[in-house]
Chain A
Amino acid sequence: MARLTALKALVQRFSFLLLLMTSVALMMLGRMDPQLVEHTRARVMDAFVPIQDAISRPAATAARLIETFVDIAEVYKENKQLRQENARLLQWKQAALRLDAENASLRSLLRYRPEPKSTFISARVIAAPGGPFLRDIVVTAGRREGVHRGQAAVAGAGMVGRVVEVGEWSSRVLLITDINARVPVVLDGSRQRAVLAGDNSDQPRLIYLPPDAPVTIGDRVVTSGDGGLFPAGLPVGVVSFIGDHMVKIQPMVDMGRLEHVQLINFGLPGGLAGEAERLTSLK
C-alpha cells in the first residue's frame, strides 16, 4: 500500500514535469511553425465565437447605459461645443469642396490613374483577450465575409490595427499599440516618413525618425502605404509627446472602447504584403 502511494506521488511529480515540458515545447513549436499554431488558433476562436458573442452583448449594453447617463449630464456643454465645431467644419467643407474640384481637374490634366476602390467589412468586437502583455481584439468577421490576413482595421476616425489571424467567421486584429505592431507612417505636415511601433502602452512611438526631423506636438500621422501593407493616408494619430530620442503618438481612436471596426480591403495587396501572401500560399 505504501509502495502504491509512493508510486502515485512519483507519477504526480512527473505529471507536473511533463506538463511544464509540454508548455515549453508548445511555445517552441509556436516559434518554429507559426502557421500551424495560427491555424489551430483560428479553429478554437471560431468555436468560441457564439459564446463570446453572447456574453459580450450584455456588457456592451451595460456600457452604453452608463454612457447614456454621462451623456445626459453633459448634453448642454456638448451641444455648445458642437455648434462651434459645426461652424468651423462648414468652413472646412467649403475648402474641401474647392480642393476636390481642383484635384479632379488637375488629375484629368495628368491622366492620373486612381487607386483601386477600397471596400469595407464591418464587424463587431466580441473580445479583448490580450491582458497586459498583448493588445488585440477578436471580431465577428472571417473568411466568409472576405477578410484576409493583413487587412487594416479602422474605427471611427482612424486606424486601430491589422488582421493577423482569420477564421471562418471570426478574426483577430493586432492593435497598433501592441509591442509587435509596426506601421509605416508619414507625418502629414512635413511628409517625413517613419515607422510607428507599439510598446503595449496607450501611446505608440515613432521610430526611424531622423533626429533633426521637424516634429511638433499636434502633427497628424497617417499611414504612408509603404510596403503595400496598408492603403496610404489612413489617419493613425497625432504627435502627443516629444522627448529625447522619443516621439509618442496619441492614436485617433481609444483602443479600450472599440465596439465595431471596419476591415479595409483595398484591392490586390502588392509589395511586401503580396510577397508575404505568396509565401504563405506556397507553403
Chain B
Amino acid sequence: MNTSIWQRLDQVGRSLAPAAVTTMLVLLSMVPLQLPGWDKLVPSMALMSVYYWSIHRPDLLPPSAAFTIGLLQDMLAGTPPGLTALVLVTCHLVVETQRAFFLANGFLILWLGFAFIAVGAVLLQGMIYTVLYQTLIPMQSPLVQAAVTVSVFPVFASLFISVHRAFLKEV
C-alpha cells in the first residue's frame, strides 16, 4: 500500500484540472465587460480549452466531458440546447484523429490547426442556426469573432501549458 487516500484524492483533484479550467473559462467568457464590442468579440475560450486538452490529455477531458461542458454553456447562454455540445464534441473528434501529428510538430502547427478548427466551428454553428431558424444568419461578426479567438490563442495556450505543468506532471 504505497498510495494513501490523500495521495489518491490529490490525484483525482489534479486530473480534474482540464475539465475545471474549461468550465471556468465558459463562465468567464460570459462576464459582461462593458467594453465596446466585447459582447460580440469575446473569444470562444471553451473551444480553445477543448482543443488543447483533446490533443494533450484526451484521457482527462473525454468527449463526454466536452459534451457536458457544451451543454452547460448552451443552458447558460440561451443558445439552442445541444448546439455548443455538438460543436465541442466534433472538435474533440476531429482533433483526436490528428493527435499524433500535432504532438509531433511545434506550436506553430498547433496554432494553425486551431485556426482551422475555429473557423470550422463557426461555420458549423452558422449552418445549424440557418437550419434551426430557417433564415440566413449574418456571418460577419461570427467570423470576426473566430479571428479574435485565433489571434488570442497563444495567450490561452500558455495558460493551459502552465496548468498542464503545474498539476499534471505525474498524473
Q: Which of A161-178 contact B (CB under 8 A)?
A: 164-165, 172, 174
The answer to whether B79 and A134 touch across the interface, beta carbons within 8 angstroms, is: yes
* Chain B binding surface SS class: helix
Choose one: A29, A60, A136; the contact of B81 (CB below 8 Å): A29
A51 within 8 A of B: yes
The answer to whether A63 and B76 touch across the interface, beta carbons within 8 angstroms, is: no
The answer to whether A133 and B64 touch across the interface, beta carbons within 8 angstroms, is: no
* Chain A binding surface SS class: helix
Alpha-carbon separation in the docked complex, A30 to B84 (Å): 13
Q: Chain A residue with minimal CB distance to B86? A: A23
B171 within 8 A of A: no
> Interface residue tally of chain B, by bracket?
35 or more
The answer to whether A31 and B132 touch across the interface, beta carbons within 8 angstroms, is: yes
The answer to whether A179 and B133 touch across the interface, beta carbons within 8 angstroms, is: yes
Alpha-carbon separation in the docked complex, A9 to B73 (Å): 28
B85 within 8 A of A: yes
B142 within 8 A of A: yes
A56 within 8 A of B: yes
The answer to whether A15 and B64 touch across the interface, beta carbons within 8 angstroms, is: yes
Choose one: A26, A136, A254; the contact of B78 (CB below 8 Å): A136
Residues of A within 8 A of B119 (CB): none
Alpha-carbon separation in the docked complex, A37 to B90 (Å): 23
Q: What distance in Å separates the Cβ of B32 from its nearest Cβ neighbour in chain A?
A: 4
The answer to whether A27 and B30 touch across the interface, beta carbons within 8 angstroms, is: no
Q: Chain B residue with minimal CB distance to A254? A: B36
A255 within 8 A of B: yes
**Stretch binding the partner chain, chosen from A101-109, A214-222, A256-264:** A256-264
**Stretch binding the partner chain, chosen from B38-46, B106-114, B150-158:** B38-46
Q: Which of B72-102 contact A (CB under 8 A)?
A: 72-73, 75-83, 85-86, 89-90, 92-93
The answer to whether B79 and A131 touch across the interface, beta carbons within 8 angstroms, is: yes
The answer to whether A22 and B80 touch across the interface, beta carbons within 8 angstroms, is: no
The answer to whether B30 and A60 touch across the interface, beta carbons within 8 angstroms, is: no
Residues of A within 8 A of B38 (CB): 128, 256
Contact indicator per residue, chain B 26-64, by CB within 8 Å of chain A (1) or not (0): 011111111111111110100000000000000000011
Alpha-carbon separation in the docked complex, A130 to B30 (Å): 8
The answer to whether B77 and A130 touch across the interface, beta carbons within 8 angstroms, is: yes
Alpha-carbon separation in the docked complex, A133 to B145 (Å): 10
The answer to whether A26 and B36 touch across the interface, beta carbons within 8 angstroms, is: no
Choose one: B67, B90, B93, B141; the contact of A200 (CB below 8 Å): B141
Nearest 5 Cβ contacts at the A-B interface? A26-B82, A23-B86, A129-B77, A129-B30, A63-B34
